[in-house]
Structure 1
Amino acid sequence: MAGMKVFSLLAASSFLRYASAQDVIRNDTFFYGQSPPVYPSPEIEGLGDWGDAYAKAQAFVAQLTLEEKTNLTGGFANASSGCGGNIRGIPRLGFNGLCLQDAGQGVRATDFVNAYASGIHAGASWNKNLTFDRAYAMGGEFRAKGASIALGPPVVGPLGRIARGGRNWEGFSVDPYLSGILAAESVRGIQSRGVISCTKHFILNEQELNRIPTINAENETVEASSSNIDDRTMHELYMWPFADALHAGTASIMCSYERINNSYGCQNSKALNGLLKDELGYQGFVVSDWGAQESGVGSALAGLDMVMPSGLQFWGGNLTQAVRNGSVPEDRLTDMATRIMAAWYYTNQDAPDHPYPGIGLAPNLLLPHRIVDARDPSARPVILQGAIEGHVLVKNTNNTLPLRSPKLLSLYGYDAKSPDFNTPGPGFNPWSFGLQSHNVNSVICGFFGRGVCPPFAPIAQNGTFIVGGGSGANNPVYISAPYNAIQEQAIQDGTQLYWDFVNANANGSVHAESDACLVFINAAASEGVDRPSLRDDFSDALVTNIAAQCSNTIVTIHNAGIRLVDQWIENPNVTAVIFGHLPGQDSGRALVELLYGRTSPSGKLPYTVARNESDYGALLDPVGPVPPYTYFPQDDFREGVNIDYRAFDAAGIEPRFEFGFGLTYTTFEFANLASSVVSGASLSAYPTGPVIQGGNADLWDVIATVTASVTNTGNVAAAEVAQLYVGIPSAGQPVRQLRGFEKVLVHPNQTAHVEFELRRRDLSVWDVVAQQWRLELGAEYHVYVGSSSRDLPLVGNLTLA
């Protein structure tokens, strides 16, 4: 009865007044702080390369009863399956159902799988091919386990607006261009293995605080935070990487918990019907985040297609009845089912020559179960190389690194050793549930509950940090910790090791003959809770204490996001610093490759490291409920498109380490900048191509190129990431924004030539009045090429005549 009451109320609500999907916004004031209605929900049309999948899905759905269509839209509890979500099969038509399983660094909550580099680690690699290979290998493991839908990668929301955001580590970068390029590679990699890639979270899911409704101490409901944004910022920043993922073919989109301009994300008709399905031509299905559905009829009409983990609260039989009584048109239910099945066909899960295996995800790993070893030996090089390339060297005084056959090394810090898992049995990695094993309750509170969550400690002292916490984590078969890998190298070199992982703050703990002192700390983060700070006193004291006793102190940080270092970075005894991010299971092995110079570091920061937390301004902390919005928290995105390095550039703030920065064991020189418009390129002010998935087809046309040369002027072979930034000549645009990157391996005294292709959308601004992307014809664009967002020795111009 409760569900039926919600249907009745929502069906009669004046909020659900109907408007055309073409009922567009003509100014930012109208869009800011409120979400206009866009109805009806656009139906799948088979745009672009979706034609065959659409035709098959239509034929399939035409054979279904009303109840069978409804069953496709809602998850159900399945005690025999370890899947995170399940959709019932339809055996009479040869459809075995769907298994949805979490993914961030690999298949979650199962055994015999690998832990790959995290999203932020892949972002720090700036390597397109490696990102594809990572996704391809992960996709194979999902398929081997029988999971038909991988719930990310890619994660492009959160983008990383809030510096202390608890889930920033799951995404690639705070920059929409870098994030979008790597998201597209991830979609192609996952889906080439016959697995649906679920891109998440759509949209403005930028903090964990108040991401879902909660009950306060007075037993009153506090609604989820509302991300209030203008139309231009929505398009130019937060929608940007989603468009790349859609253009690459992503077949599933997950809607978010937060409200968007005061309308919940999974029932926001402007976001789902207007932006996603109409403007971006989305052909796949929208699935709710777990428990993110807040209404029945409202979410159905607004464009939600699938509910997880259960459809019974609002849909199920209620949805069937709503169709019968006219509250929801049957065409809408048919479209939901068609979109779901089209995604299934689009990823070739019906292929008779490549049948999908049975479910290999056991509900309880401690009980006897069918062992499915999903690991492919061919993925081993990808796992290691992915771990290597996400490390970023930010300080290396007097070529401290690489190490050269040290006689005695001293190791310090809680992050050096293997994790101490206090819960016995396979697969019970505390990182997959929260920050620390003794702190699981606080994370579960934020993840599943609607109560008040206690704060959690900033330091993970249980051991080395290879994955973040929450649904993006997984449980590898092994973990190569820094100490273990260094010990193996010491055996080969005959190096004496001293270590102290507990009492490193005691004076006199450093051996006087140490060639180097290696200190390992981390900066942890987890879904459900935002980070309490960007640094912590315990870890900073550990570094400064060791540095006071050791003139050659090398610091490695395994960080799930920005980590400030100004408490000790200028200490002359701190000679080298590595941001190690979250490398996955080969963490220690990868670090040894870099420390001993078998591979030169090549990672670049996918975010800006400030000197002080205050440098991030209003974008440091998540926004909580404050009067007069105590029960309806409001988060106004007043900074517009200026987040991270864009904000630092706009305000003239000098960062400690800028976006795109990273050292190698050699030096590079940039030269020979040239830019030109592609001959025959269409230079109309607005795109004229048909809408395909991702937007107008000609938005992806290459209309200009920029070329440059990179010379290795040192004596070590290394990879450099050549970066292209563009200054768009339009009011309100960032000083510079990333619009190209190429990673090239260059040998000493050799020169590599790089070419950046600029697509129409890369040089366009969002025209709010025209509701279209616009080129600034006849105006002079500035182009910059170099090794980071602040080190750009090559400067030129480009005019679209």
Structure 2
Amino acid sequence: MADTGTHIEAAVETALGKLDLDAKTRLLAGQDMWSLPALPEIGLASLVMSDGPIGVRGVRWTADDPSVALPSPTALAATWDPGLARRAGVLLAQEARRKGVHVLLAPTVNLHRSPLGGRHFEAYSEDPYLTGRIGSGYVTGVQEGGVATTVKHFVANDAETDRFTVNNLVGERALRELYLAPFEAIVENARPWGIMTAYNTVNGTTMTEHHHLVNGILRGEWGFDGFNVSDWMAARDTVGALRGGLDVAMPGPGTVYGESLAQAVRDGRLDEPEVDEAVRRVLRLAARVGALADVEPAVPAPPAPVHGEALARELARRSFVLVRNERAALPLRPGRTVALIGAAARDARVLGGGSATVFPAHVVSPLDGLAAALPEGALSYAVGADPTTELAVADRGFTLRAVCRDAAGTVIGTGSAPSGQIQWTGTDLPDGVTHDSLHSVELTGTFTPRASGRHSFGIKGAGAFTLTVAGTTYFDDAQQPADVSDPFEAFFGSPVPRAETELTAGEPVDVSLTYVVRLPDGIPLKVVAFALAHQEPPRDPDALIAEAVEAARAADTAVVVVATTDRVESEGFDRADLRLPGRQDDLVRAVAAANPDTVVVVNSGSPVELPWREDVAAVLLSWFPGQEGGAALADVLTGAHEPGGRLPTTWGSLADAPVTRVAPSDGELPYEEGVFIGYRAWEKEGRTPAYVFGHGLGYTDWTYDSVETDGTTVAVRLRNTGDRAGREVVQVYLAPTEPDAGRPARWLAGFAGVEAGPGKSAEAVVTLPRRAFEIWDEAAHRWFFVKGSYEIQVGRSLADRRITATINV
């Protein structure tokens, strides 16, 4: 892949020389929600950005333009395969080009500091080295496809509580060794074309103005030459942002740049050469992605096409982590009957909530996948327990459209509404509709129930609404917003119940929700956002569990799918606990008591407590598995493919977790644990988790025969001693032989995946990076190579270390 060359730099300087101050400053401010303005005078097309990281949404948040939905970032990290991450990146670049997107707002490489982090599913791991390796693969793949990445959120954006205002107090050593480390590795190994700075403040300075971290370290020490874009609405001050290294303030048009930046130069508060530096970086980005005329882009021709569904399915099954498998419960033996249990088995949750949400063309649920894979008559299904305890956005059974009217009630445009949620940002409105002309939006259509009984309907949003179901108006009033500090929490928050009515399964009824649009004057971003919500008739939870127990008794194997909801894991808020919602724990206990061959599939993007884990035969973690999750699950359960995942983060109870605080006090959140997060902290505190970092079982066995090292390279010989082919992730940990209270007991220094057939041998070769032996010296403000004796510990996980060697450095 070509990178910045003399032809690009020359073109950038030529283009820059043709721009006046107003054009320059306009280029640094978003013209709308997702794009920068075109400058025809220099042949510059409008640069378009889009959210990721598991798909490319495009500039419209709608199912009209579906996106391939890959598994969650935690799932990608669970593959422990940078090459697979690279392939995922190539696919996403292909999706971006299809949607006219130049810049993908991904990947998220913040760390799993606390299991309570609400956006935990969108980041990779608790370990900076693993995060850096997976992130480097992802960035390389996307940019090989000619699309830019923006590695985010720089830096220490590790929780959601008060994320716009929190001042995270992070020691210099912890910053360097943990939180900056993935960014540094990706800059060094993948040369990203963009970075996104976070909302939060670090050690007293907001990240969009952090000269030391952005100009001093990111650009100065690491040599980053890409552009720096703010998180949306994060930029606060014109002069502070530009001098702090922020190139682009999004979204527009109401930002601290544009006219405000030009005026700051004219007033003498900034010099035009300072603006020029930011413009150069944006023009360099444009040249790299092919948006600057007469300049060959960094990738002249795209890679070969990637089959999205096939890769999504492969990635999912490679990410599934089998953490328990007693009596060889998995794979399922041929000829056995299966009782599939759980609401999430039928209505799959395949991705996390928030800005990572995309709309796939289809979703394969576990019920779909197993029904297709098993012989006719081998599969039964029972709901068992529903994790959703409140109304959810109207979806299954609804056929809706959006009708836009002006103040006189005249229809001025219509748009599709694949679900009951409307999210129109900036100029993302139906054809012919403007914010000036729009007075109301009506969601209207039909609902065909799949169950008879008393259905509930509700509203998510703030403003004046009218709700009508089956000809009866149940609500015609204003709904006030909840008292929340994060606008994303308000947007993705709980709906308010407004109607209950008896309906009959299979008989459609008319539904209508009208919203009167009111946008306050002077707001920087115009958003039309509300939702129609629905809940099926409640059934007695004990009766549902009893039905599941009967189904389990009648089958050879029970497969229970348990899950979180978007009120548990989402952008905008942190988690209150690690428990599964609803009666799901009770369900698993009851089914396991009825059938000793109970397999539990855990459909969550981040750790949950599994109090029944010793009572079931097998536990398989499926993360948020993407659109092909059900097909991949069938592949793994039936043994067509091996579960390939290893834990990228420690799973344990909240009571035992060493680092849990995510809420600031008086605006500050001290990272008091220093360099001890994740498995480093669990070992330091002498606590035993449910499942350790790196853990994961396959369908074959491995023997580690030998290890050889010269202190730089570690070569491991191992044999597949099982009766089927498999893949092993060889993990290399470095442990000082002399205990040091200031350093972890051991840390991940390298890993490699190998494959071998039954009875065959393989060799894994791992290069130990110099950084594995270094710590950050806070007094000298530099990296310090710690000489001494180290044990190289090689094995299958942090705890399952099979073979060792000692070196002196």
Q: TM-score scaled to structure 1, two decimals?
A: 0.76
- Does the Cα contact within 8 Å between 1:229 and 1:637 map onto a contact in 2? yes
Compared CA separation, residues 797 and 641, structure 1 to 2 (3 A) = same
Compared CA separation, residues 545 and 346, structure 1 to 2 (3 A) = same
Question: Does residue 185 of the first structure (1) align with residue 144 of the second (2)?
Answer: no
Distance between the aligned counterparts of 1:268 and 1:225, measured in 2?
15
Distance between the aligned counterparts of 2:7 and 2:577, measured in 1?
50
Q: Alpha carbon RMSD of aligned pairs, Å?
A: 2.3
Distance between the aligned counterparts of 1:105 and 1:261, measured in 2?
31
For 1:275, the aligned partner's letter is I
* Corresponding position of 1:129: 83
Question: Does residue 614 of the first structure (1) align with residue 655 of the second (2)?
Answer: yes
Distance between the aligned counterparts of 2:621 and 2:76, measured in 1?
13
* Corresponding position of 2:498: none
* Corresponding position of 1:722: 730
* Corresponding position of 2:99: 145
* Corresponding position of 1:787: 796
> Where do residues 560-571 of structure 1 align in structure 2 (5 Å cutoff)?
560-565=605-610, 567-571=611-615
Bigger drift between 137-146 and 47-56 goes to: 47-56
For 2:75, the aligned partner's letter is H
> Where do residues 167-178 of structure 1 align in structure 2 (5 Å cutoff)?
167-178=119-130
Partner secondary structure for residue 326 of structure 1: coil
Distance between the aligned counterparts of 1:344 and 1:128, measured in 2?
27
Distance between the aligned counterparts of 1:375 and 1:529, measured in 2?
40
* Corresponding position of 1:585: 627
Distance apart, 1:407 and its partner CA: 4.1
- Does the Cα contact within 8 Å between 1:601 and 1:718 map onto a contact in 2? no
Structure 1: which 5+ residue stretches go unaligned?
1-46, 78-83, 213-223, 358-373, 418-462, 678-703
Question: Does residue 559 of the first structure (1) align with residue 604 of the second (2)?
Answer: yes
* Corresponding position of 2:196: 254
* Corresponding position of 1:518: 559
* Corresponding position of 1:737: 747
Distance between the aligned counterparts of 1:174 and 1:511, measured in 2?
37
For 2:578, the aligned partner's letter is L
Distance between the aligned counterparts of 1:768 and 1:311, measured in 2?
42
* Corresponding position of 1:394: 323
* Corresponding position of 2:594: 549
Distance between the aligned counterparts of 1:68 and 1:268, measured in 2?
25
Distance between the aligned counterparts of 2:343 and 2:366, measured in 1?
11
Distance apart, 1:338 and its partner CA: 0.4
* Corresponding position of 1:207: 159
Distance between the aligned counterparts of 2:122 and 2:304, measured in 1?
22
* Corresponding position of 2:644: 602
Distance apart, 1:557 and its partner CA: 0.8
Partner secondary structure for residue 614 of structure 2: coil
For 1:132, the aligned partner's letter is R
For 2:743, the aligned partner's letter is Q
Compared CA separation, residues 511 and 530, structure 1 to 2 (3 A) = closer
* Corresponding position of 2:109: 156
Distance apart, 1:653 and its partner CA: 1.2
Distance apart, 1:544 and its partner CA: 1.1
> Where do residues 4-15 of structure 1 align in structure 2 (5 Å cutoff)?
none
- Does the Cα contact within 8 Å between 2:287 and 2:298 map onto a contact in 1? no
Compared CA separation, residues 317 and 306, structure 1 to 2 (3 A) = same
Question: Does residue 776 of the first structure (1) align with residue 776 of the second (2)?
Answer: no
- Show CA shifts across 1:752-799 (max 9, x none): 10110122223222223333222234x222211100011112122222
Distance between the aligned counterparts of 1:377 and 1:140, measured in 2?
8
- Show CA shifts across 1:479-534 (max 9, x none): 000001111123x4552424335653236533533111111111241110112211
* Corresponding position of 1:623: 663
Distance apart, 1:664 and its partner CA: 0.7
* Corresponding position of 2:166: 225
Partner secondary structure for residue 309 of structure 1: coil
> Where do residues 262-341 of structure 1 align in structure 2 (5 Å cutoff)?
262-310=204-252, 312-341=254-283
Compared CA separation, residues 416 and 498, structure 1 to 2 (3 A) = closer
Distance apart, 1:113 and its partner CA: 2.3
Distance apart, 1:311 and its partner CA: 5.2
Structure 2: which 5+ residue stretches go unaligned?
386-542
Pick from 773, 793, 804: which aligns with 1:763?
773
Distance between the aligned counterparts of 2:28 and 2:649, measured in 1?
38
* Corresponding position of 1:669: 703
Pick from 372, 378, 392: which aligns with 1:495?
378
- Show CA shifts across 1:2-32 (max 9, x none): xxxxxxxxxxxxxxxxxxxxxxxxxxxxxxx
Question: Does residue 711 of the first structure (1) align with residue 745 of the second (2)?
Answer: no
- Does the Cα contact within 8 Å between 2:125 and 2:649 map onto a contact in 1? yes
Distance apart, 1:721 and its partner CA: 0.4
* Corresponding position of 2:357: 473
For 1:226, the aligned partner's letter is N
- Show CA shifts across 1:64-93 (max 9, x none): 11111101111122xxxxxx5110011122
Distance between the aligned counterparts of 2:717 and 2:17, measured in 1?
57
- The count of aligned residue pairs is 635
Distance between the aligned counterparts of 1:352 and 1:300, measured in 2?
29
Partner secondary structure for residue 797 of structure 1: strand
- Does the Cα contact within 8 Å between 1:673 and 1:706 map onto a contact in 2? yes
Question: Does residue 534 of the first structure (1) align with residue 543 of the second (2)?
Answer: no
- Show CA shifts across 1:24-53 (max 9, x none): xxxxxxxxxxxxxxxxxxxxxxx9956553
Partner secondary structure for residue 471 of structure 1: coil
Distance apart, 1:546 and its partner CA: 1.6
State the identity %.
31
* Corresponding position of 1:506: 546
Distance between the aligned counterparts of 2:102 and 2:209, measured in 1?
25
Distance between the aligned counterparts of 2:36 and 2:187, measured in 1?
23
- Does the Cα contact within 8 Å between 2:148 and 2:192 map onto a contact in 1? yes
For 1:588, the aligned partner's letter is G
Distance between the aligned counterparts of 1:57 and 1:168, measured in 2?
39
Distance between the aligned counterparts of 1:231 and 1:620, measured in 2?
21
Distance between the aligned counterparts of 2:87 and 2:378, measured in 1?
36
* Corresponding position of 2:340: 411
Compared CA separation, residues 620 and 731, structure 1 to 2 (3 A) = closer
Distance apart, 1:261 and its partner CA: 0.8
* Corresponding position of 2:494: none
Q: TM-score scaled to structure 2, two decimals?
A: 0.76
